[in-house]
Amino acid sequence: MPVGIDQKVEIWKNKLLDLGKRNRLINYRETKRSTLSIKTPEIFELWESFVENDNPLEFPYYREPQEETDVEYDIDNGFLTSSDVTTNQNVKELQRTLRNLRNKAKMAIEEQGINILYLAFGFLKWSEANYSTEQMVSPLLLVPVSLTVESISSPFVLQMTDDEIVVNPALKYKMENDFGLTFPEFDEDLGLQNYLNAVQKAVKNNNWTVASEVGLSLFAFLKINMYSDLDRSKENLVSNPIVRTIAGDASAAQHIPEELNDYDFDKKLKPVDVFQVVDADSSQQEAILCAKKGISFVLQGPPGTGKSQTITNIIAECLADGKKVLFVSEKMAALDVVHKRLTSAGLDDFCLVLHSHKANKKAVLEQLRKSLSLAHNKAQLSNEAYMKLETLYQDKEKLNQYAEQIFETVSPLNMTIYQVNGILAVLDDYPDVIFSIPDIRSTSVEQYHRYLYVLNAFKNTIGKMSEDFDGNPWRGSIVSAVTNELRHDVNARFPAFASNLSRWASQANDIFSSVWKIYRIWSTDWIKDPVAEGNRLIEAIEDALKNYGIYEPVSPKSNVDAEDFVSLEEKVVSIEDIENPKPLWL
């Protein structure tokens, strides 16, 4: 047993126990909105009518006068309904107090599923020491009640609930531990009078008194029950590995088995073996698996992250495995969410609801009867259901194979199809550039990185170019570096080359002008004799080229027909639209 766990349990117990003067169960003090003292009917008459005969108690209520009437009207109380109930407050204040009590009791039921509204019968007036002048008042018997009102113009009605009548647990514990007094157990058959007399007899040596009074207020004492559980079951608690882990004993912590780490659910789980009733992602699947294997864990997450879905699936899987599940929560809303999900999945017949204020003895017994009757019914999946599960399994396998293929590392670049598609997706908006890479299938990782480096260098170089890059004389040059030798060759040969360029340009312009004039004359006679006119045009062009010494005769083409000239004409692009001949630069 680890050192310090006993002290931890004592700390837990002290946090649960509230026996101070701020606890209304120990030091009952009347307040304006949280307590109400009932003066009439007197205590024993009210007990007989309200508790034994189960007659509701209707309070007088206040309403503003709207017209003249013979009914007695009080300035403070307004119009009064006929009621035998009187309290320590006027009717107007009574309505506010009852409304406050009802709202707080309703909130406790909605949030925690517990009733904290009680009608206290009998009060013990006592002091902590004989010499103390401060007298404290504590309720004795607590009768669970509920406050209802039909409408704003209706009176408040007080009714008993199906919960048990209890002796003040906090006072009973304090009396036993601080004063050694054992309070008698309450027996409904003996009645209220006998119980109050028994309490008076038990405290007579302390000079304390029992007051026959009735008060309505809010009392919360569930933590005292938890304290009693810790006190009675301490040995079992300190030996429990979960409790020891919470107390700080790391050696008692249960570790997740190695085979469950990185568990491949797609390969190892078939649909026919899964009994989850709501959607679950991968992290939720891991939690469900741990729960099925009996591993203790903490599932943490902010609201809306699927904790209730996971709990629902855990319960469904455990039910399918023949296990029992106790689901506990401090807030009733969390229990309701899970119960609604189970109900939607058709599993509400397997749920015993204990958290709701409606879960009284009668309702619990009815749920047990219904569950026991279902135990005689046997359920079996149909062949159609098995076929659907098999179809689901085959579809799942196809998806798994697809995932394996796109995430499989491919040599020699050691990249997956998924990674490559991601790189290409980034470039989707860029224009395509067609180029070839020799033996691309054998491109190594080093070559790939080299290509990337060269492309980045090219990109950076292009980025430094000015806007007149396309018209730059050096565009397309393959000169890698300007050396002194290159400068010498350019300076030596460029003057002769420039002179030849000028001469060639002049000759080209003259040739173009001559051909143009011939074509203008020839085009008018084309329709008369296209073959003869075509041959004449060819001869004219040859003569023009011979004059400049740039034509060498070739074997003449025989059988020139109209189709050849039609083909020639099609290659001329709108030449008739040219009004003035333009220079032709070679």
Q: In sequence order, what are the residues at sequence separation of 6 or more whose Cβ sits closer than 8 angstroms to the Cβ of residue 177?
A: none
| Overall pTM surpassing 0.75 (yes/no) | no
**Any idea what DSSP says for residue 158?**
E
CB contact burial 413-437 (16+ within 10 A = b; e otherwise):
eeeeeeeeeeeeeeeeeeeeeeeee
Structure tokens at 382: 């149909």
On the question of pLDDT at 321 being above 80, the answer is yes
pLDDT in tens, 111-146: 877 889 999 999 999 998 877 788 999 999 999 999
The phi and psi torsions of 449 (rounded to 5 degrees) equal -65, -35
Using alpha carbons, list the distances in angstroms from residue 221 to 185, 227, 409.
18, 10, 64
Distance (Å, rounded) from C-alpha 124 to C-alpha 113? 29
CB atoms within 10 A of CB 277: 19
Note the pLDDT of residue 83. Answer: 67
DSSP letters, 501-561, are HHHHHHHHHHHHHHHHHHHHHHHHSTTT-HHHHHHHHHHHHHHHHHHTT-----PPPPS--
Is 545 a residue whose pLDDT tops 70? no
Q: What is the pLDDT of residue 586?
A: 33
- The confidence score (pLDDT) of residue 559 equals 47
CA distances (Å), origin 444, targets 104, 175, 324, 411: 74, 87, 59, 8
Per-residue model confidence as pLDDT tens digits over 228-249: 788 888 888 888 888 888 888 8
Q: For residue 578, what pLDDT band results from cuts at 50, 70 and 90?
A: very low
| Rounded Cα–Cα distance for residues 336 and 341 (Å) | 9
**Would you say 101 and 147 are in contact if contact means Cβ atoms under 8 Å apart?**
yes
pLDDT of residue 315: 95
Distance set, CA 276 to CA 178, 383, 462, 492 (Å):
53, 20, 59, 89
Q: What is the pLDDT of residue 314?
A: 96
**284-311: average pLDDT:** 90
Domain ranges of the chain: 26-220, 254-374, 407-459, 486-577
- For residue 1, give the 3-state DSSP assignment: coil
Average pLDDT of 535-552?
64
Please report the pLDDT score of residue 373 as a whole number.
Answer: 83
What band does 570 get if pLDDT is binned at 50, 70 and 90? very low
Contact 448, 440 (CB under 8 A): no
The owner of tokens 């659910």 is 265
For residue 574, what pLDDT is reported?
A: 40
Quick one: pLDDT at residue 356? 64
Predicted pLDDT at 132: 78
Q: How confident is the model at residue 467 (pLDDT cuts 50, 70, 90)?
A: low
On the question of pLDDT at 285 being above 80, the answer is yes
Find the range with the poorest average confidence among 191-200, 247-256, 395-404, 507-516.
507-516
pLDDT at site 54: 92
Work out the number of other CB atoms within 10 angstroms of the CB of residue 131: 6
Q: Does residue 412 have a cis bond before it (omega within 30 degrees)?
A: yes
Is the pLDDT at 213 greater than 80, yes or no?
yes
On the question of pLDDT at 67 being above 70, the answer is: no
* Residue 74 backbone dihedrals phi, psi, to 5 degrees: -115, 135
pLDDT score for 433: 81
Q: In the block, which residue shows the tokens 């080299």?
A: 450
- What pLDDT was estimated at residue 6? 82
Cα–Cα distance, 153 to 151 (Å, whole number): 5
Of 234-248, 249-263, 512-526, where does mean pLDDT reach its minimum?
Answer: 512-526
The model's pLDDT over 175-206, given as tens digits with 9 standing for 90+, comes to: 988 899 988 999 988 899 999 999 999 998 88
Quickly state the pLDDT bin for 557 (edges 50, 70, 90): very low
The β-bridge partners of 40 are 86
Torsional sign, CA 438, 441, 447, 453: positive
In the predicted model, what is the mean pLDDT of residues 149-154?
85
